[in-house]
């Protein structure tokens, strides 16, 4: 009974929560008013929580069931698509079989048709028979659809239709002079660019029985076109382009060495274009074969009649074989082997299945077989077919290396396509595409790197990502292009310099553009230099490239920090009272001694007095620490191009302090203060300047004459004794 009441209460609560007019605030208010105490609220809360868990479980169950149904539906769709493809393939084969009925049946069919026609004329129904026979032949000519002599009334009608249509096309009058030429099919198309699938222009295609005419649309003249190109059907290949929305209803025309992509108005018109093109090509091939047979037979007799009427056929064949012997010797290349006959189709299969190694192996096998052998027409035809497949294979391999492909596999992911391009003799293109792919990968890796709050942490990550990618790229490049032309290595060096420019841009934006301190900038540059030295393990030294790209930024940082020191020194000079320092505690005095020892002042003990006194001015001590810190950080950034910049900055900083001491010494009248100023001047000239000069020489590797002149001069600048202002 209690269970039933609980279920009914839960269902009532569910309906209440699911109602459209449910107000949570009002519901809680009413519940608080109606409850007897905390226990009721806790129980109600548990019921709502249980209801929420139950709803979540039901939702998960429904999602899982829908997901399973979705998978089953997708599987059924896949099965249906496969069956439809098989059905389409069977229909295509049946159509091909019907169109390739032996021509020996045509005379009998023609005789039967003539008898039926004569009978129909006697019965009064001949006109309808003739019209039905003439209509389809004009649009979709089969292998025997066109009259052999080309002089019938149907041929004249086709010629008139062609003349009428071509009068709308500018610049193609010469086409009308070809005898036996007639229009098969025509329609509007849109041409697209083959590489980037960008729309180029509107065109109109005119398919004749032996060629395809492409004319561009003239927008200012409605219904008129301008001649663009003419392609014989013998050298034309038609390829269906798979729909890839929004690019659909397209087909490709291959004319060695170029290709063009067209888009039909809809799928039906595209299918008609493909069917009519293939049917017209077959009809033209059959017509050419028939003309060759007629030309080989004796004049005046068909091939069968000539063979039957010649009783001395065997003797004549023997006599004709003798003078043809040299020609047979020239064309003795055997192309009857099964693997050669099936080579174009096998290449198509390998390309479709992405078996690039298998396709290149077949090409190598063919080249080895034909090496050193003559090139009669059959071999030339075979080579033409193979060259078209090679071009398609090259396009696929180029697409594999395009930057638009996935870049997560690293440099090794490109090895397969690169090696096959090299085997195809496209080493230069492989090198260019490989480096372009890696440049895109490096750029993507740098962009995906999250900018941290701490600059040094970000620079560590940036250097790790960039130099690791550069090192992997260099090793993969050496592996892939070991046996190629040395010019590829020059291309790699140029690429490495360009990639380093990309790295320095990101480096400078984070370090120098954000106005970091000189110590932080020095540490970041040290990290970059250390990673550059690691590239020396593979014989690649890019340190000079980093120097050349960073020189302006480092100059700006040095000048900026120099100005900061000068301003701080001037500010302290303006408040100088020339008093001894009292550090108050022994700990503070010990800390100052350690700092001065770190600055290179080892004999600082002689300047300390009793208790916690220091016999130097606060201004001079602060200047010493700041100048030595500036010198240490600047030496971390040093390279030869910065020599004069660093030296001039040091001289400017030291001049500010020395001029102030010199001026104070000339102007001070109190003997005690004057003695104290001399003691500070002695510290500057005899202790600080030698330490600066020594540390500069250690860091740079050669002495600086400007610093020696500063130390040796007793007075750097003569100041007018009557003046009361400091000259700096």
Give mean pLDDT, residues 311-337: 52
Confidence category of residue 190, pLDDT binned at 50, 70, 90? very high
Among left, alpha and beta (phi > 0; psi -120 to 50; other), residue 454 is beta
pLDDT of 264 reads: 93
Percent of the chain with pLDDT over 70: 79
In degrees, rounded to 5, the angle at the alpha carbon of residue 307 between the alpha carbons of residues 304 and 311 is 150
Confidence category of residue 50, pLDDT binned at 50, 70, 90? confident
Among left, alpha and beta (phi > 0; psi -120 to 50; other), residue 578 is left
Confidence category of residue 128, pLDDT binned at 50, 70, 90? very low
Give mean pLDDT, residues 216-225: 80
CA gap 336, 346 in Å, rounded: 16
**Long-range CB contact pairs, 722-728, < 8 A, 24+:** 724/667, 726/573, 726/659, 726/660, 726/663, 726/664, 727/659, 727/663, 728/570, 728/655, 728/656, 728/659, 728/660
Q: What is the pLDDT of residues 595-619, one digit of tens each?
A: 888 888 877 877 787 778 888 888 8
Give mean pLDDT, residues 168-195: 81
Among 154-158, 291-295, 466-470, 600-604, where is mean pLDDT lowest? 154-158
pTM beyond 0.85: the answer is no
Confidence category of residue 167, pLDDT binned at 50, 70, 90? confident
Give mean pLDDT, residues 280-300: 79
Give mean pLDDT, residues 314-331: 45
CA gap 333, 331 in Å, rounded: 6
Q: What is the pLDDT of residues 563-574, one digit of tens each?
A: 988 999 888 888
Give mean pLDDT, residues 635-661: 86
Confidence category of residue 180, pLDDT binned at 50, 70, 90? confident
CA gap 177, 638 in Å, rounded: 81
Q: What is the pLDDT of residues 656-666, one digit of tens each?
A: 888 888 888 88
pLDDT of 82 reads: 66
CA gap 474, 726 in Å, rounded: 60
Give mean pLDDT, residues 108-113: 43
- Rank 42-51, 166-175, 298-307 by mean pLDDT and report only the highest: 42-51
Give 262 or 134, the one with higher predicted confidence.
262
pLDDT of 28 reads: 82
Give 89 or 302, the one with higher predicted confidence.
89
Q: What is the pLDDT of residues 684-700, one digit of tens each?
A: 888 888 888 888 888 88
pLDDT of 263 reads: 92
- The DSSP bridge partners found for residue 208 are 183
376 with 413: CB under 8 angstroms? no
For the cut 60, the answer to whether the pLDDT of residue 454 exceeds it is: yes
What are the structure tokens assigned to 474, written together? 């260099």
pLDDT of 697 reads: 86
609 with 693: CB under 8 angstroms? no
682 with 616: CB under 8 angstroms? no
Give mean pLDDT, residues 471-491: 80
Give mean pLDDT, residues 336-364: 86
Give 524 or 336, the one with higher predicted confidence.
524
- Rank 98-112, 174-188, 711-725 by mean pLDDT and report only the highest: 174-188
For the cut 80, the answer to whether the pLDDT of residue 555 exceeds it is: yes
Provide the mean pLDDT of the chain: 77
pLDDT of 721 reads: 40
pLDDT of 205 reads: 92
Give 703 or 128, the one with higher predicted confidence.
703
For the cut 70, the answer to whether the pLDDT of residue 302 exceeds it is: no
For the cut 80, the answer to whether the pLDDT of residue 332 exceeds it is: no
Give 587 or 603, the one with higher predicted confidence.
587
């Amino acid at each position: 009974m209690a269970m039933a009441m609980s279920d009914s209460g839960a269902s009532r609560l569910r309906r209440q929560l699911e109602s459209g007019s449910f107000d949570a605030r009002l519901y809680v208010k009413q519940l608080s008013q109606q409850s007897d105490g905390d226990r009721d609220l806790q129980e109600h809360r548990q019921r709502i929580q249980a209801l929420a868990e139950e709803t979540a479980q039901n939702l998960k169950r429904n999602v899982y069931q829908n997901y399973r149904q979705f998978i089953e539906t997708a599987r059924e769709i896949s099965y249906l698509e496969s069956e439809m493809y098989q059905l389409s393939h069977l229909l295509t084969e049946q159509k091909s079989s019907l169109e390739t009925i032996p021509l020996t049946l045509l005379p009998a069919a023609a005789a039967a048709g003539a008898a039926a026609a004569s009978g129909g004329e006697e019965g009064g129904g001949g006109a309808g028979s003739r019209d039905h026979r003439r209509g389809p032949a004009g649009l979709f000519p089969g292998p025997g659809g066109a009259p052999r002599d080309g002089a019938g009334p149907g041929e004249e009608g086709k010629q008139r239709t062609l003349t009428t249509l071509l009068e709308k096309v500018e610049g193609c009058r010469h086409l009308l002079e070809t005898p036996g030429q007639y229009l098969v099919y025509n329609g509007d198309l849109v041409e697209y660019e083959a590489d980037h699938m960008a729309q180029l222009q509107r065109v109109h295609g005119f398919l004749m029985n032996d060629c395809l005419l492409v004319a561009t649309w003239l927008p200012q003249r409605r219904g008129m076109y301008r001649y663009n190109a003419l392609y014989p059907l013998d050298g034309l290949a038609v390829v269906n382009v798979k729909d890839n929305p929004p690019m659909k209803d397209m087909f490709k025309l291959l004319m060695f060495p170029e290709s063009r992509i067209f888009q039909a108005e809809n799928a039906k018109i595209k299918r008609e274009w493909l069917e009519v093109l293939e049917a017209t090509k077959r009809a033209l091939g059959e017509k050419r074969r028939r003309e060759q047979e007629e030309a080989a037979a004796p004049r005046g007799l068909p091939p069968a009649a000539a063979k039957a009427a010649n009783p001395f056929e065997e003797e004549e064949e023997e006599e004709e074989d003798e003078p043809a012997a040299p020609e047979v010797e020239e064309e003795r290349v055997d192309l009857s082997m099964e693997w050669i006959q099936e080579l174009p189709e096998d290449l198509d299969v390998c390309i479709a299945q992405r078996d690039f190694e298998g396709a290149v192996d077949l090409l190598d096998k063919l080249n080895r077989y034909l090496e050193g052998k003559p090139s009669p027409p059959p071999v030339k035809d075979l080579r033409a077919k193979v060259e078209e497949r090679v071009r398609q294979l090259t396009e696929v391999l180029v697409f594999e290396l395009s930057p638009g492909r996935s870049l997560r596999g690293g440099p090794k992911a490109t090895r397969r396509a690169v090696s096959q391009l090299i085997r195809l003799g496209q080493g230069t293109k492989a090198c260019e595409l490989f480096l372009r792919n890696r440049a895109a990968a490096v750029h993507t890796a740098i962009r995906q790197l999250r900018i941290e709050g701490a600059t040094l942490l970000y620079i560590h990550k940036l250097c790790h990502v960039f130099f690791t990618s550069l090192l992997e790229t260099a090793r993969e490049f050496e592996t892939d292009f070991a046996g190629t032309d040395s010019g590829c290595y020059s291309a790699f060096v140029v690429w490495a310099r360009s990639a380093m420019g990309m790295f320095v841009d990101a480096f400078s934006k984070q370090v120098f553009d954000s106005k970091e301190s000189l110590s932080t900038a020095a540490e970041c540059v040290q990290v970059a230099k250390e990673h550059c030295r690691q590239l020396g393990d593979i014989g690649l030294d890019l340190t000079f490239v980093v120097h050349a790209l960073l020189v302006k930024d480092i100059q700006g940082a040095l000048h900026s920090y120099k100005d900061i020191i000068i301003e701080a020194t001037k500010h302290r000079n303006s408040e100088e009272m020339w008093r001894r320092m009292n550090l108050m505690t022994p700990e503070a005095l010990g800390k100052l001694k350690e700092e001065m020892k770190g600055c290179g002042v080892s004999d600082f003990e002689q300047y300390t007095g009793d208790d916690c006194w220091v016999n130097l001015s606060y201004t001079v001590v602060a200047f010493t620490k700041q100048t030595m810190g500036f010198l240490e950080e600047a030496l971390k950034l040093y390279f030869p191009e910065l020599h004069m910049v660093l030296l001039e900055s040091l001289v400017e900083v030291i001049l500010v302090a020395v001029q102030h001491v010199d001026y104070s010494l000339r102007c001070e009248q109190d003997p005690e203060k004057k003695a104290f100023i001399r003691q500070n001047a002695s510290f500057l000239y005899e202790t600080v300047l030698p330490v600066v000069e020594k540390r500069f020489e250690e860091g740079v590797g050669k002495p600086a004459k400007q610093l020696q002149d500063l130390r040796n001069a007793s007075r750097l600048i003569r100041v007018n004794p009557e003046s009361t202002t400091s000259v700096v």
